[in-house]
A and B are shown apart, each in its own frame.
Chain A
Amino acid sequence: MNILITTHGNLGKEFLKTAEMIMGKTDHISILGLQVEDNIDFFKEKIETVIQQKEIKIILTDMENATPFNAATIASRSIRNPPKIIAGINLPLLIELINLTQNNEFKYEQLEVFIQKCKESITLYKGMTKNESI
């Protein structure tokens, strides 16, 4: 199952590089970064092309309602089976998603549960404080 990561700048590229440090090489993830000078319509077209050529099923973006996210939603509207779009990429999420999608058995229906689980990856470390409250 192919994935596209689209973010501001080189965030996506670096996320993938870092995830691959931990997980090893992947071959099912494409990256598109929106640079300051990019034209939004042209960027949207690039996303559309990647979705079609790679048969992208899941798009990861860095922030809801921001330009890369908007471009992904607009690019997906003309696709027959539009990819699912997730906003708010982080490293645990990407690693987990690589794990799940490396073989082709991952089902769309699992996505909501997956995201719910990923939200738990943001934690406040309490190990140093004697008191539970800050």
Chain B
Amino acid sequence: MKVFRLDERLIHGQVMTSWIGYTGATEIIIVDDEIAQDDFMKLVLTQAAPKNIETKVMNCKQFTDYDSNKDNKNRIILFKKLIYVKELLDMGTPISELSLGNMGSSPQRKKYANSIYMTDGENDLIEEIQKSGCQVFIQMLPNDLKKKI
């Protein structure tokens, strides 16, 4: 099972533990062009993962190469930013569903749901992503109802 998920807090505590249990994932891949070239950030973020899970940080290009080796590994693909979801779709990665966990509030963002705040630009991106055939929904934990955005 492959789960594509956007959560700005990336790998965090109980939430990630539930998703790992649900998917049976043996690896988590963070797809982000900026983090992929920042060794310090990579270290900080991968340290947060449970010990038995392999964590990788890749840029979009690296991920599409990696993902095209068709294997049946269960994995969680994590994003911090919507632009990289869009980029993967544009590069031809099939993503049928994207679950949104946390997009936090900041002065530039408007509230769309509990723990989902977006700028107008980000909201436009969601629409573009949905137009590419990827269903976007809000879901904190695997057993929560999928809420339409």
Contacts and interface: CB of A to CB of B under 8 A. Distances in A.
Given A74-B44, A77-B40, A36 B115 contact: yes
B44 A73 contact: yes
B104 A66 contact: no
B47 A39 contact: no
A36 B48 CA distance: 18
A73 B111 CA distance: 28
How many chain A residues sit at the interface, stated as a range, is: 10 to 19
Contact of A39 (B13, B40, B41, B109): B109
B129 interface: no
Interface string A74-93: 10010000000000000000
A73 to B, nearest CB: 6
- Chain B contact-residue range equals 20 to 34
Contacts of B44: 70, 73-74
A115 interface: no
A39 B45 contact: no
Interface string A43-87: 100000000000000000000011100100110010000000000
A73 B42 CA distance: 12
B79 interface: no
A39 B105 CA distance: 5
Contact of B103 (A39, A65, A74, A77): A39
Contact of A38 (B41, B45, B104, B114): B104
Contacts of A112: none
10 contacts: A38-B105, A39-B103, A40-B8, A42-B104, A42-B107, A65-B48, A66-B12, A66-B48, A70-B48, A74-B40
